[in-house]
């Protein structure tokens, strides 16, 4: 049991024993399905845990030159790289650090593909199969007019040199959604499947969720492989690797009352440190809190930035909150650290790892110089 009162606040905390649980599930899916599973850095680029991730995956995927370099240098192998657009400024670095590069359009492949092929890099195209179960437009790559991927009408022939296809249409989704996506791919792009070597099914496969049907996922992948035995099948989940593996520890610094609303003012920010809570939006779980019952006192959590909408709620507690006590948000490792900002110069959370033997390691702390060095 983690004693949050003994940790520096604010801080992100990863628990190695929780990570081990997820890695065991991912290993099982890799082993029984025959698919390759690679880590999506856009969800968690916490390179201090890369040795463990590398031992339980088939590589990592990057979406920029910086991510590709981080994979190459810290993960210890070349990246599978896809970015919505490449530039001359970054492409040489991307090639240096990658062994697979996926292009978002035929025009981008025509512009950069020959350079990649000459360097022995396996090239792919991102396709848009026209199906996604994602209901929030911000996260839906198949909305009308989407800039992501080639639609069927734009691909009469597969350009020479393209060895793979890539689609990414899921987000914390279930196996039945993958099945519908594969049905759409076979219906709209099936004529190309016997002409490629690999199919990347993107991310969004939340196989470490307690209610996820891993047997169903394995069955779908094996059935697809039976229909297309020559294809390497690749999945690149992000959240699944670090799902429910850690926390964001904060402190109540003030309590504000206004118009019947009680707000606990924290030393963290939803806008700066938990942006998906505002973008999705969703309300995160808090250790020791519960959903308010009718008539029960409700607590809003207020962020430390000056943004008027930097708050989330409501929660209820079995006690009156007090200035100085810890508020611990659950499941705060994926899509948090990678999306933080230093808006307002708000104090940036440190990064802590709780080791398997109970030791705590402060692996990174932030201060004024980090804020200053991002400015001019």
CA dist., res. 236 & res. 199, Å (int): 11
pLDDT at 176 over 90: yes
Cβ atoms within 10 Å of 260's Cβ, excluding its own: 6
pLDDT at 142 over 90: yes
Helix (H, G, I), strand (E, B) or coil at 194: helix
Cα→Cα distances 6→1, 18, 40, 193, 326, Å: 12, 19, 32, 55, 10
DSSP per-residue codes, 33-52 = H--EE-EETTT---GGGHHH
CA dist., res. 117 & res. 16, Å (int): 40
Residue 100: exposure state from Cβ atoms within 10 A (0-12, 13-18, ≥19):
buried
Tell me the backbone φ, ψ of residue 72, rounded to 5 degrees: -60, -45
DSSP state of 231: P
- Among 230, 210, 207, 113, which residue's Cα sits nearest to residue 162? 113
Residue 145: exposure state from Cβ atoms within 10 A (0-12, 13-18, ≥19):
exposed
DSSP state of 357: T
Q: What is the set of domains in the chain, with CATH numbers? A: 4-12+246-332+340-373 (2.40.37.10), 34-242 (3.20.20.10)
Helix (H, G, I), strand (E, B) or coil at 242: helix
pLDDT at 46 over 90: yes
pLDDT at 362 over 90: yes
pLDDT in tens, 53-89: 999 999 999 999 999 999 999 999 999 999 999 999 9
Tell me the backbone φ, ψ of residue 373, rounded to 5 degrees: -75, -10
pLDDT in tens, 233-289: 999 999 999 999 999 999 999 999 999 999 999 999 999 999 999 999 999 999 999
CA dist., res. 160 & res. 80, Å (int): 20
359 in Cβ contact with 14 (< 8 Å) = no
Residue 238: exposure state from Cβ atoms within 10 A (0-12, 13-18, ≥19):
buried
Whole-model pTM: value is 0.95
């Amino acid at each position: 049991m983690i004693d949050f009162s003994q940790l520096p606040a604010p801080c992100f905390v990863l628990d190695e024993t929780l990570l081990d649980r997820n890695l065991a599930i991912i290993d099982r899916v890799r082993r029984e399905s025959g698919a390759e599973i690679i880590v999506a850095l856009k969800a968690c680029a916490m390179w201090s845990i890369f040795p463990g991730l590398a031992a339980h995956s088939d590589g990592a995927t990057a979406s920029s030159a910086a991510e590709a370099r981080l994979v190459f240098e810290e993960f210890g192998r070349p990246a599978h790289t896809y970015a919505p657009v490449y530039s001359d400024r970054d492409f040489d670095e991307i090639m240096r650090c990658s062994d697979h590069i996926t292009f978002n359009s035929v025009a981008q492949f025509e512009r950069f593909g020959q350079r990649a092929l000459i360097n022995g890099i396996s090239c792919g195209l991102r396709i848009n199969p026209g199906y996604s179960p994602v209901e929030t437009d911000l996260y839906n790559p198949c909305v009308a007019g989407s800039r992501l991927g080639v639609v069927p009408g734009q691909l009469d022939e597969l350009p020479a040199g393209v060895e793979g296809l890539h689609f990414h249409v899921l987000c914390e989704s279930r196996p039945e959604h993958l099945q519908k996506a594969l049905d759409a791919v076979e219906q709209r792009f099936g004529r190309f499947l016997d002409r490629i070597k690999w199919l990347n099914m993107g991310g969004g496969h939340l196989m470490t969720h307690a209610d996820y049907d891993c047997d169903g996922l394995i069955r779908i992948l094996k059935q697809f492989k039976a229909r297309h035995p020559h294809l390497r099948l690749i999945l690149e989940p992000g959240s699944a690797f670090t799902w429910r593996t850690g926390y964001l520890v904060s402190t109540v610094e003030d309590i504000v009352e206004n118009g019947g609303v009680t707000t606990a003012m924290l030393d963290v920010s939803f806008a700066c440190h938990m942006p998906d809570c505002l973008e999705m939006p969703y309300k995160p779980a808090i250790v020791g809190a519960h959903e308010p019952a009718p008539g029960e006192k409700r607590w809003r959590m207020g962020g430390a930035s000056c943004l008027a909408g930097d708050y989330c709620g409501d929660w209820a507690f079995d006690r009156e909150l007090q200035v100085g006590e810890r508020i611990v948000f659950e499941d705060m490792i994926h899509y948090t650290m990678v999306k933080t900002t230093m808006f307002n110069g708000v104090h940036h959370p440190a990064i802590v790892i709780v080791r398997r033997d109970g030791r705590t390691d402060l692996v990174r702390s932030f201060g004024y110089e980090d804020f200053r060095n991002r400015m001019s």
